[in-house]
């Protein structure tokens, strides 16, 4: 294998013995690549000319990757490459990969008879070549991101072609009819071919299993048949209807029609292999005739004109109807469903009986919803945020981990498990009743009791380091902080009675006797938050915990850590209590308590409005007080909770 810098064009390249060459574009050199550079290499079999991002790579690249863009200064040099043409006489060539091929086409005398793989991504070609070439050995053709490519030649002799990649060929208006007769073509990728308006053929492409037409924004007509099609992608196309012959795609497993112009779906009952159907954001879709019998995932998000859903198959596991604003009822739910999302279905007034396998239920912003049916035992996540008409929650199941009932303004009652064996199963990590000002006293007492039980459980279960290789610095905390926390929030202004330290100031002094420091396992925080109004949505609230020496006037070294909490609203309507255990913060405080018998904790509160920019709003006046409770082994034992 020869590795040659193109700047050195005087090297003896016309040697008959050369079989393989990998060339790298020079970083700064201005010399032109000379036309005769490959003229005498009659035995050349492998030629790879890569860009600056593929140095030292002799393996086939990720042909679907996007990381192949040149710097602007390098692109300016391409115009100087091979301006006099190219003489190419290699007749043994099997593999040709040339990033940013600079000419309008391959030379007329280009020999492709033995070629197996041809990759010319990011080329300046307008056409591949003229006429018909013998491509009997060609298996892969990649012309992706060739922005000037206007058409393809006759490929009828490429009888062994398996993979054809034309994605982001933005000037390609059609594909040559010969493609539809290729017996072994398995994958055809036309994503972002924005000038393509029609893709139709009466031929049966027996071998085609994958067809990608995503973001072909001007595609108006589609009609292809393949007995072996497994995945079809038509996202952001303008097709209004699937062809009548579509039922012949009996091996289809994945159908993607997101954001397309589809107005109706024909009966899909014959598609017995279809597992995943996605028609999300199809705002013109009005009817679905019949669903496939073994469908597992159905995504109808933002199908705003859809009024009814046909009978659901017994195999369905996920149903997403978020923001189907015209949907008034749901069909009977099969027992197999594990995830149900009806968020923002503003016309939906009732929910049918919930299946026993359901693990996640999202009914957020269903403003007409007054009741929720009995919750299945295995439910883990329940979102009822902004269900403004909801008055009562059914008894919460024992395995529930997350409940977000923020802004359920009419909510009065919530029932927790009462049986002793069910209480032992409880594992609640997040329970949010922000701005639920109508909760009755019985429910508030139950929330506080449940909070104490499950906070202690969470502490006990997180004494040892979590199962992360990077736990020492919590390097994933910025985006994964939820996994390190237990959070409870409910209306009120009184601290829990079991909280050891509490204050209405912004600081507090914690005393840790030396005899106790070794038995500490964590710290639970409580914050009292007052009314707040902002013009923007608060993405996240951040509590900055600063620790210093609590003795004397000189506080010594100050160290701090932040705790994050999602909020996603612009208002706190009245006083609310927020109780948190944060594993990173606890580990931070534990390490300080080992060397300080008394230390000062100061809390400041900020709101992050945007994640893209560091933009905070100081909310110190909103923080009316806070409290801290150090948790020791003894407290856990006395509470009779197991820990590991």
78 closest CA partner among 26, 155, 149, 138: 26
Looking at the domain assignment, is residue 454 inside a domain?
A: no
Q: What is the dihedral of CA 407, 409, 415, 416, to 10 degrees?
A: 20
How far is 152 from 129, CA to CA, in rounded Å? 8
pLDDT at position 577 over 60? yes
CATH label of the domain that carries residue 56:
3.80.10.10
List, for residues 599-616, the tens digit of each pLDDT value: 899 999 888 876 666 666
pLDDT at 158: 95
pLDDT at 37: 67
pLDDT at position 568 over 80? no
Looking at the domain assignment, is residue 483 inside a domain?
A: yes
pLDDT at 217: 94
Angle CA(468)–CA(473)–CA(477) in degrees, nearest 5? 70
How far is 298 from 591, CA to CA, in rounded Å? 49
How far is 474 from 465, CA to CA, in rounded Å? 10
At 444 the three-state DSSP class reads helix
List, for residues 531-544, the tens digit of each pLDDT value: 887 767 778 888 99
Per the prediction, the chain carries an average pLDDT of 85
pLDDT at 491: 95
List, for residues 7-41, the tens digit of each pLDDT value: 444 455 446 677 888 876 654 344 455 666 666 77
Looking at the domain assignment, is residue 203 inside a domain?
A: no
The residue behind tokens 């919530």 is 414
How far is 503 from 304, CA to CA, in rounded Å? 50
Looking at the domain assignment, is residue 458 inside a domain?
A: no
Structure tokens at 460: 């006990």
**Average pLDDT in the 558-573 region?**
84
* Residue pair 563/583 in contact by the 8 Å Cβ criterion: no
Count of domains in the chain?
Answer: 2
Looking at the domain assignment, is residue 243 inside a domain?
A: no
* Residue pair 155/176 in contact by the 8 Å Cβ criterion: yes
Looking at the domain assignment, is residue 167 inside a domain?
A: yes
Identify the domain boundary among 178, 196, 214: 196
Where residue 468 falls among pLDDT bands split at 50, 70, 90?
very low
**Average pLDDT in the 449-454 region?**
91
Q: Which of 176-190, 421-435, 447-461, 497-511 shows the lowest mean pLDDT across its residues? A: 421-435
The residue behind tokens 């509470």 is 639
Identify the domain boundary among 146, 181, 196: 196
* Residue pair 412/387 in contact by the 8 Å Cβ criterion: no
pLDDT at 318: 98
List, for residues 334-393, the tens digit of each pLDDT value: 999 999 999 999 999 999 999 999 999 999 999 999 999 999 999 999 999 999 999 999
Q: How far is CA 228 from CA 221, 249, 339, in A?
A: 21, 7, 30
Looking at the domain assignment, is residue 405 inside a domain?
A: no
pLDDT at 583: 93
List, for residues 38-80, the tens digit of each pLDDT value: 667 778 889 888 764 444 333 333 333 344 444 444 444 544 5
**Average pLDDT in the 251-264 region?**
96
* Residue pair 284/264 in contact by the 8 Å Cβ criterion: no
Identify the domain boundary among 157, 180, 196: 196
Give the percent of the chain with pLDDT over 70. Answer: 82
Looking at the domain assignment, is residue 413 inside a domain?
A: no
pLDDT at 33: 56
Q: Which domain holds residue 607?
A: 477-638
pLDDT at 550: 65
The pairing of strands 402-404 and 430-432 is: parallel
pLDDT at 545: 92
């Amino acid at each position: 294998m020869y590795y040659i810098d193109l700047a050195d064009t005087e090297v003896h390249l016309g040697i008959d013995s050369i079989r393989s060459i990998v060339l790298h574009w020079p970083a700064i050199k201005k010399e032109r690549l000379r036309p005769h550079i490959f003229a005498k290499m009659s035995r050349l079999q492998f030629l790879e000319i890569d860009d600056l991002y593929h140095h030292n790579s002799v393996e086939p690249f990720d042909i679907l990757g996007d990381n192949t863009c040149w710097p602007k200064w390098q692109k300016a040099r391409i115009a100087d490459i091979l301006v006099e043409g190219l003489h190419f006489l290699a007749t043994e060539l099997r593999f040709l990969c040339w990033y940013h091929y600079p000419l309008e086409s391959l030379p007329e005398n280009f020999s492709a008879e033995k070629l197996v793989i041809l990759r010319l991504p990011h080329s300046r070609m307008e056409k591949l070549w003229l006429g018909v070439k013998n491509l009997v050995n060609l298996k892969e053709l990649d012309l992706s991101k060739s922005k000037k490519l206007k058409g393809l030649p006759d490929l009828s002799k490429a009888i062994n072609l398996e993979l054809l990649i034309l994605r982001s060929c933005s000037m390609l208006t059609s594909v040559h009819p010969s493609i539809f007769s290729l017996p072994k073509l398995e994958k055809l990728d036309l994503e972002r071919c924005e000038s393509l308006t029609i893709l139709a053929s009466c031929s049966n492409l027996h071998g085609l299993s994958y067809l990608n037409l995503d973001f072909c924004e001007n595609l108006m007509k589609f009609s292809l048949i393949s007995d072996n099609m497994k995945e079809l992608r038509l996202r952001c196309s303008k097709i209004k209807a699937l062809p009548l012959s579509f039922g012949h795609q009996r091996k289809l497993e994945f159908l993607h029609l997101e954001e397309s112009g589809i107005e109706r779906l024909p009966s899909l009952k014959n598609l017995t292999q279809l597992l995943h159907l996605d028609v999300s954001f199809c705002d013109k879709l009005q009817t679905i005739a019949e669903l496939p019998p073994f469908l597992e995932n159905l995504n109808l998000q933002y199908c705003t004109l859809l009024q009814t859903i046909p009978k659901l198959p017994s195999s369905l596991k996920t149903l997403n109807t978020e923001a189907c604003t015209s949907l008034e009822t749901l069909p009977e739910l099969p027992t197999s469903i594990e995830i149900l999302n009806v968020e923002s279905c503003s016309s939906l007034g009732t929910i049918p009986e919930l299946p026993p396998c359901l693990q996640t239920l999202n009914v957020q912003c269903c403003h007409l919803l007054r009741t929720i049916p009995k919750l299945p035992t295995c439910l883990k996540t329940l979102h009822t945020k902004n269900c403004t008409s909801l008055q009562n929650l059914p008894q919460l199941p024992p395995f529930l981990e997350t409940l977000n009932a923020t802004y359920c303004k009419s909510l009065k009652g919530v029932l927790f498990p009462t049986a002793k064996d069910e209480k032992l199963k409880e594992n609640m990590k997040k329970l949010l009743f922000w701005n639920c000002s109508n909760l009755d006293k019985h429910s508030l007492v139950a929330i506080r009791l449940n909070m104490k039980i499950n906070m202690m459980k969470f502490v006990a279960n997180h004494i040892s380091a979590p199962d992360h290789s990077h736990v020492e610095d919590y390097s994933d905390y910025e985006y994964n902080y939820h996994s390190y926390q237990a959070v409870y929030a409910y209306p009120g202004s009184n601290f829990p009675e079991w909280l050891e330290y509490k204050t209405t100031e912004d600081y507090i002094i914690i005393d840790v006797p030396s005899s106790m420091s070794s038995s500490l396992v964590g710290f639970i925080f409580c914050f009292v938050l007052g009314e707040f109004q902002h013009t923007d949505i608060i993405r996240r609230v951040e509590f900055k915990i600063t620790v210093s020496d609590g003795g004397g006037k000189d506080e010594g070294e100050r160290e701090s850590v932040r705790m994050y909490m999602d909020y996603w609203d612009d208002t706190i309507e009245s006083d609310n209590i927020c109780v948190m255990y944060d594993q990173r913060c606890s580990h931070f405080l534990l390490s300080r308590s080992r060397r300080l018998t008394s230390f000062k904790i100061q809390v400041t509160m900020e709101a992050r409005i945007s994640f893209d920019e560091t933009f905070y709003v100081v909310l110190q006046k909103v923080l009316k007080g806070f409290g801290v409770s150090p948790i020791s082994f003894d407290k856990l034992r006395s509470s009779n909770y197991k820990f590991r």
